[in-house]
Amino acid sequence: MPRSTLDLDRRGFMKAGVGGALVASVGGRTLLQRENAQAVQEAVDPDAGDELVKTVCTHCSVGCGVQMAVKDDTIVGQETWDDNPVNQGGLCSKGASLTQTEKSPQRLKEPLKLEDGEWVRMDWDEILTEIADRLNEIREETGPHATFWCGSAKHSNEAAYLFRKLAAFYGTNNVDHQARICHSTTVTGIANVWGVGAMTNNANDMRHVDVNLIIGHNPLESHPVAWQHFQEAQRRGGKHIVAEPRWTKTAAAADDYYQFRSGTDVAFIYGLVYHIVENLEAHDEEFIESRVSDWEEFREDVLPQYDLETVSDVCGTPVEDLQELAETLADADVSCVEWAMGGTQHNNANGNVRAYAILNLALGHAAQSAGGTPIFRGHDNVQGATDLGVDSSTLPGYYGLDQSAWEHWTNVWTETESTSGEISYEEMVDRFHSTELMEKNGFTVARWFEGVLDDEWEIYQPDPIRAAIFWGHGLGSLSEYKKVRRAVNELDFIVNVDVFPNQVAELAESDTDVYMLPVATNIEEPGSVTNTGRSIQWRFQATSPAHNSRMDWRLICDFADHLGFGEHFDYDEVEDVTREWNLGTRSVGYVGQTPERLKAHMENADLFSVENLRADLDEDEVDGVLDGDYYGLPWPCWHDEHPGTPILYDDSKHPAEGGMDFRARWGTEGPDGQNMLRNPYEPDWWDGVIEGVPQYPMYATVLPDGDPSDRTIPIEYAEDESRSVYDAAAALAEEGYDVDPEEFAEYDNPQPDSPWGRGRARIKAWNLTDEYPVHREPAVTPRPDLVEEFPCNDRVEDHWRLELDNAKVQQDNIDAVNELEERGDHVMVLTSGRQVEHTGAGGETRSTKGLAWRAPMMYLEINPTVADDLGVETGDWIVTTTPHAEMVLQANVTERVSRDLAFAPFHWSGILEGEKLSDNFHGDLEGMKPFVIGESINAGTAPAYDRETQMQETKTTLCAVRVAEGNEIPQLSDEQLEWQEQLKKRDKR
Q: Which of 173, 174, 137, 172 is nearest to 431 (CA)?
A: 172
Confidence (pLDDT) at 45:
61
pTM over 0.75: yes
Distance CA 506, CA 107 (A): 15
At 516-566, the pLDDT tens digits run 999 999 999 999 999 999 999 999 999 999 999 999 999 999 999 999 999
Distance between alpha carbon 950 and the CA centroid of its chain, in Å? 14
Helix/strand/coil percent split, the chain, to 5: 35, 15, 50
Q: How many helices (H) does the chain have, and how many strands (E)?
A: 33, 29
Low-confidence ranges of the chain (pLDDT < 50): 1-43
Q: Which of 720, 938, 766, 948 is nearest to 841 (CA)?
A: 938
Which distant-in-sequence residues (6+ apart) come within 8 Å of 161 by Cβ? Answer: 388, 389, 396, 577, 580, 581, 585
Distance CA 506, CA 501 (A): 9
| HSE-up (13 A, CA, CB side) for residue 10 | 23
Distance CA 450, CA 906 (A): 22
CA distances from 493 to 466, 479, 521, 691 (A): 7, 22, 25, 58
The answer to whether 340 and 222 have CB atoms below 8 angstroms apart is yes
**Cβ neighbour number for residue 281 with a 10 Å cutoff:** 9
Confidence (pLDDT) at 46:
59
Q: Which residues pair with 630 in a beta bridge?
A: 614
The answer to whether 884 and 938 have CB atoms below 8 angstroms apart is no
Q: Which of 300, 264, 379 is nearest to 790 (CA)?
A: 264
Phi, psi of 909 (to 5 degrees): -160, 180
Q: At what angle do helices 574-584 and 157-170 cross, to 10 degrees?
A: 70
Helices (DSSP H) in 171-284: which residue ranges?
A: 184-194, 219-222, 227-235, 249-253, 265-274
**Cβ neighbour number for residue 126 with a 10 Å cutoff:** 12
Confidence (pLDDT) at 4:
34
The answer to whether 183 and 375 have CB atoms below 8 angstroms apart is yes
Which pairs with CB-CB distance under 8 Å and at least 24 residues apart come from 300-305?
A: 301/772, 302/270, 302/772, 302/774, 303/270, 303/273, 303/274, 303/277, 303/278, 305/270
Which distant-in-sequence residues (6+ apart) come within 8 Å of 565 by Cβ? Answer: 169, 421
At 861-914, the pLDDT tens digits run 999 999 999 999 999 999 999 999 999 999 999 999 999 999 999 999 999 999
Residues 808, 177, 938, 241, CA torsion sign: negative
| C-alpha triplet 672, 674, 678: angle, nearest 5° | 165
- DSSP track, 681-714: B--TTSSS-B---PPPTTTTTPPPSSSTTS--HH
